Amino acid sequence: MRKHSTTLLGLAAAATLTLTACSTGSTPDPGSAGTRQASSLSTLPQGKKAAPLSAEHLGPRLLDIIDMGSDYRVKPQQDSKHDDVAVVGCPALEKLGAGAAAGGSLDFPTKAKVTFAYSGSGDSEVGEEIYTDAEDKLSSGSRTIFDAMTACPKYQLASGSTPINVTTQKVTAPERGDERWAWMMTLSSGGRTTMIKQVAVRSGTVLVVLSGSPGLVDTHLDKALDKALAPAT
C-alpha cells in the first residue's frame, strides 16, 4: 500500500464527500447538458508546436459564478490534510507511488482550479481543473494517470482509519479535443454511498478536468469545455 497524491484527480474530494455526505441515492440533476459546440485551441501550421499558456491566461478559462448561476457558490480551497489517501488493491494506481504527482502525472507546472457547491443539494459539488504544458508532456502525463484510474473496477482508499470501497466504470466521453476520458466512481463507506463523475479532455496544450456530482457535471460540461478550450487570443 503506497501513499499517492490524489487531490488533482478529485479522489481526496470524493473521499471527503463520502465521509461527510448523508445521501444514499442518486444526486439530483438540476438540468441536462446542452448541445455541444465544436471549439478547440487554435491550430498552428504543420510542424510548429504550440506553447503552453501562461498562468494568467488559465484563470479566465475556468467557469465562474456568472457561468454557474445563482444556485451555486464558490467553495474555498480545502486544506492539504485531505491531499493524501492510500490506494489498496489496484496495482496500476499503487505503482505510481507517492511521487506520482511530482513525476508529471497531473502535477503540471501551470494550473488553475475552482470548486462550486450547489445549493439545491447540501452535499452536491462540481470542481474544475485546467492544466497547461508542452503537448507531449501533457498527453503522456494525462494518459498515465487516467488509464490507471480506470484500470481497476474495484479497489479501496484508506483515509485515516476509514476504508472506502471504490468501483469505477468507463462512460462515454465527449467527442472533443485530441484526447478524452470519462468514468463514474462509486464510493461507499459506513453505509453511505457517493457517486462521482469525472471527465477529462485534452486539446493541444490545455487539459480540462470536470469532477463532481454526475448531474452537475453533465449540466456544465459543454460550457466548461467551450470556455477552457476556446481558441487562444
Q: Name every residue whose Cβ is closer than 8 Å to that of residue 81 and which is 6 or more positions away in sequence.
A: none
pLDDT digits (tens, 9 = 90+) for 17-58: 434 333 333 333 433 333 333 334 544 445 557 889 988 999
Distance CA 167, CA 185 (A): 6
The rounded distance, in Å, linking the Cα atoms of 35 and 133 is: 29
Can you say whether the dihedral through the CA atoms of 177, 67, 130, 212 is positive or negative?
Answer: negative
C-beta of residue 212 within 8 angstroms of C-beta of residue 185: no
Q: Which residue has the higher pLDDT, 211 or 106?
A: 211
Q: What is the pLDDT at residue 128? A: 94
Query: What average pLDDT does this structure show over 101-105?
Result: 33
CA atoms of 169 and 24, how far apart (whole Å): 19
Please give the CATH topology (third level) of the domain spanning 2-228.
Protein Transport Mog1p; Chain A (3.40.1000)
Give tens-digit pLDDT for 184-196. 999 898 888 989 9
pTM here is: 0.79
CA distance 50 to 138: 12
In this predicted model, which residue has the larger pLDDT, 20 or 87?
87
- pLDDT above 70: residue 15: no
* pLDDT single digits (tens) 106-139: 778 899 999 999 987 666 899 999 999 999 999 9
Task: Report the distance separating Cα 132 and Cα 138, nearest Å.
Answer: 7
Q: For the sheet with 2-5, list strands across it.
A: 2-5, 84-88, 154-159, 162-170, 179-189, 192-203, 206-212, 125-132, 110-118, 72-74
- Under the banding of pLDDT at 50, 70 and 90, the label for residue 150 is confident
Of the candidates 164, 195, 169, 185, the residue with the CA atom closest to the CA atom of residue 26:
195
Name the more confident of 7 and 222.
Answer: 222
